[in-house]
């Protein structure tokens, strides 16, 4: 075989390898993202994180994550702290290769929040403390070993069709479920040229908890028909 033919053959073989690698990466993107969420989610929140399915399109920048569930810290009995039916994401594909990922919008549908208390601490308090501890540990911008390093800017985030269930131990033995007003956040991370995953979790959880608390307090007041102490107790729990 002539040298020129050898070079052509080698180039052709290399091209096949590159195309094969690119195809594997794209076809495996969904499973890689699912694995990343279930690996680094618990590292940030301190509780189990499970995902039903992930579907992402690297060309369009659109994707969906279905049936994401945050477990409870040890000792809490409700099945989960937070369950999300579907998360739709639209991002700028070109930003995936940059230090700051630009996410155009996130729409969360069907958030199911559970509140439970042990002693003076609720399950959400415990999770928030875990997030805060994670952020303190990596406050200098250093990522955990193998952990997520990129920051993100989120133009718009909406959580809709949500409900909160207050465990029976907080309401005299009867669990109360109530709807939560939509939560709308804009320009997350824009002022600081990007927010870390922990910063995003803290801001979103804080907004969702505040909205759910107002709805739960109103529902408890209606159910207890003027039992002010119960309503005041719950209001104090979720500040």
| N-terminal to C-terminal alpha carbon distance within the chain | 77
Q: Is the pLDDT of residue 24 over 90?
A: no
What's the pLDDT at 162? 87
Q: Which of the listed ranges 22-36, 101-115, 169-183 does the model predict with the highest average pLDDT?
A: 101-115
**What is the average per-residue pLDDT within 36-51?**
91
DSSP string, 4-27: HHHHHHHHHHHHHHHHHHHHHHHH
What average pLDDT does this structure show over 213-223?
71
pLDDT of residue 145: 46
Dump pLDDT digits (tens) for 192-212: 999 888 888 888 888 887 887
Q: Which residues pair with 188 in a beta bridge?
A: 154
Averaged confidence pLDDT in the chain = 79
pLDDT at residue 228 above 70? no
d(CA 32, CA 26): 10
Domain that includes residue 168, residue range: 3-237
Chain-centroid distance, C-alpha 167: 23
CA-CA-CA-CA dihedral for 202, 204, 206, 207, to nearest 10: 160
- Split into its structural domains, the chain has a count of 1
Q: At residue 185, does pLDDT exceed 90?
A: yes
Nearest Cα neighbor of 192 from 154, 159, 157 is 154
Give SS3 for 209: helix
Residue range 54-77, pLDDT digits in tens: 998 878 889 899 999 999 999 998
What does the pLDDT average to over 99-105?
91
């Amino acid at each position: 075989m002539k040298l020129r033919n050898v070079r052509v053959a080698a180039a052709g073989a290399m091209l096949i390898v590159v195309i094969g690698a690119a195809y594997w990466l794209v076809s495996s993107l969904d499973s890689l993202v699912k694995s990343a969420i279930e690996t680094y989610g618990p590292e940030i929140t301190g509780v189990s994180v499970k995902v039903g399915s992930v579907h992402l399109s690297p060309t369009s920048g659109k994707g969906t994550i279905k049936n994401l569930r945050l477990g409870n810290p040890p000792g809490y009995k409700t099945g989960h702290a937070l369950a999300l039916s579907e998360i739709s994401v639209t991002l700028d594909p070109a930003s995936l290769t940059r230090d700051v990922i630009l996410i155009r919008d996130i729409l969360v549908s069907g958030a199911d929040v559970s509140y439970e208390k042990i002693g003076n601490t609720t399950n959400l308090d415990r999770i928030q403390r875990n997030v805060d501890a994670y952020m303190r540990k990596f406050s200098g911008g250093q990522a955990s070993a193998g952990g997520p390093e990129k920051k993100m800017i989120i133009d718009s985030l909406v959580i809709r069709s949500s409900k909160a269930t207050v465990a029976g131990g907080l309401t005299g033995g009867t669990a109360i479920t109530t709807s939560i007003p939509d939560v709308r956040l804009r320009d997350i991370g824009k002022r600081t040229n990007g927010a870390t995953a922990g910063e995003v979790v803290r801001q979103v959880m804080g907004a969702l908890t505040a909205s759910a608390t107002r709805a739960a307090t109103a529902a408890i007041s209606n159910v207890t028909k003027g039992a002010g102490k119960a309503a005041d107790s719950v209001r104090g729990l979720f500040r």
